[in-house]
Homo-oligomer: A and B are copies of this chain.
């Protein structure tokens, strides 16, 4: 398993394009295309929000349908959520327009949207953008990176990663790009994440690998507790690596799962660390739990706590807020047994032993919490299970971005 350069175009047979279509933003790119020369088996997971954006409804149909996919069209200006039948109709129009210029089947065109909720899509600009994307697409790594840049909204940096791994003597590649900075509290899936692989793999194995992996990656991050209407993870496999076909329950499947974990965990952490206004990635590990579920619930409760997040913003070792957030998670544990540690590139410090504060150095704690990646580890001494969740600090930047997002 090796991490290599690139993102969605790292795997064989995938191309990417990007363009400035002026959907909402001016003076920046706002549309991206992922294209596969060969039709792909596709797995997808989507938001559990009752209010589902039109492209989420469209993609679910595509992923569960019989047609293979060859293209993903993404725009980062308008979410196309709460847009009714008109908005869904625009998805059909988008797929048809893309199918025509790309020479692919419209039933297999996937759509990703992110941006303002409630506005209708300017179809003339979107269609002009699709035509430009089709012209501009190529398989260079640079195009993959610029596509990752084009799907950003309030993100401050593009998010991509690729890995190669060996399947029965054949080198297979898996790569991906994602965006997500606000309205991030994925539930059974996440904001926009697009993964491509040249692996030959059964559709069932592909969906299973994805559905299981998101529970420990995207579903363990939170920026603001708000589960989006547009959360989508798509995983396209075109088989171009020509490996022996991966099926469930084999060593190859486990290898594929490991690769997927690396890619998804990386992208999920990138999203959390690049949360709106964030200055730090907050990683919280709960260990010594009696079950993985218990560890997850407690860890996620801490990364979602506004008071913990503001304390991290202030580099303040206000551990009481962490214990408090653990306590209201809904899971039971004995507060008198908890050990708590802070860690970062600046060092490691035990803060609490058996529920009581140690005589630790506040200065050292502040130094540790002043790094761009900080970690809290809580041992609840009930069993052997552990889990990690990722979030970010809550700063003035979050307020600046969101108090007047639409203007």
B310 near A398 with CB under 8 A, answer: yes
* Chain B positions within 8 Å of A329 at CB level: 50
Quote the shortest CB–CB distance from A295 to chain B (angstroms): 15
Closest to A354 in B: B84
Is there a chain B Cβ closer than 8 Å to A361's Cβ?
no
Question: Contacts A50-B335, A355-B84, A357-B118: A229 and B403 contacting too (C-beta < 8 A)?
Answer: no
A82 near B335 with CB under 8 A, answer: yes
Is there a chain B Cβ closer than 8 Å to A122's Cβ?
no
Question: Contacts A50-B328, A305-B225, A336-B84: A117 and B321 contacting too (C-beta < 8 A)?
Answer: yes
Is there a chain B Cβ closer than 8 Å to A164's Cβ?
no
B307 near A402 with CB under 8 A, answer: yes
Is there a chain B Cβ closer than 8 Å to A187's Cβ?
yes
A79 near B48 with CB under 8 A, answer: no
Quote the shortest CB–CB distance from A271 to chain B (angstroms): 16
Is there a chain B Cβ closer than 8 Å to A304's Cβ?
yes
Is there a chain B Cβ closer than 8 Å to A407's Cβ?
yes
| Contacts A82-B355, A225-B305 known; 6 new A-B pairs at CB < 8 A | A51-B328, A82-B356, A183-B307, A227-B328, A306-B402, A316-B405
Is there a chain B Cβ closer than 8 Å to A10's Cβ?
no
Is there a chain B Cβ closer than 8 Å to A112's Cβ?
no
Using an 8 Å CB-CB cutoff, how does the interface string of A387-404 with B read, 1 for contact, 0 for none?
000000011101100111
Closest to A50 in B: B327
* Chain B positions within 8 Å of A160 at CB level: none
Bound form: Cα–Cα A126–B116 in Å: 54
> A394's contact among B48, B51, B183, B399, by CB below 8 Å, is which?
B399
* Chain B positions within 8 Å of A321 at CB level: 117, 183, 226
A205-240 interface with B by 8 A CB criterion: 224-229
Is there a chain B Cβ closer than 8 Å to A253's Cβ?
no
Bound form: Cα–Cα A324–B326 in Å: 26
Bound form: Cα–Cα A333–B51 in Å: 9
> A224's contact among B306, B355, B402, by CB below 8 Å, is which?
B306
16 A-B pairs with C-beta separation under 8 A: A50-B335, A81-B324, A117-B318, A224-B306, A225-B305, A225-B306, A226-B324, A226-B328, A227-B328, A228-B324, A229-B320, A311-B402, A313-B403, A314-B404, A394-B399, A395-B399
> A324's contact among B183, B306, B318, B355, by CB below 8 Å, is which?
B183
Is there a chain B Cβ closer than 8 Å to A49's Cβ?
yes
* Chain B positions within 8 Å of A26 at CB level: none
The interface residues of chain A, by DSSP majority, are classed as loop
Q: Give the number of copies in the complex.
A: 2
Bound form: Cα–Cα A286–B335 in Å: 37
Quote the shortest CB–CB distance from A305 to chain B (angstroms): 6
B226 near A182 with CB under 8 A, answer: no
Quote the shortest CB–CB distance from A325 to chain B (angstroms): 7
* Chain B positions within 8 Å of A318 at CB level: 117, 405-406
Bound form: Cα–Cα A233–B306 in Å: 24
* Chain B positions within 8 Å of A332 at CB level: 50
* Chain B positions within 8 Å of A341 at CB level: none
Quote the shortest CB–CB distance from A177 to chain B (angstroms): 24
Closest to A49 in B: B327
> A320's contact among B116, B357, B399, by CB below 8 Å, is which?
B116
A326 near B84 with CB under 8 A, answer: no
Is there a chain B Cβ closer than 8 Å to A323's Cβ?
yes
Bound form: Cα–Cα A356–B120 in Å: 10
Is there a chain B Cβ closer than 8 Å to A266's Cβ?
no
Closest to A356 in B: B84
B399 near A328 with CB under 8 A, answer: no
B310 near A402 with CB under 8 A, answer: yes
Closest to A229 in B: B324
Bound form: Cα–Cα A314–B82 in Å: 22
Bound form: Cα–Cα A55–B375 in Å: 31
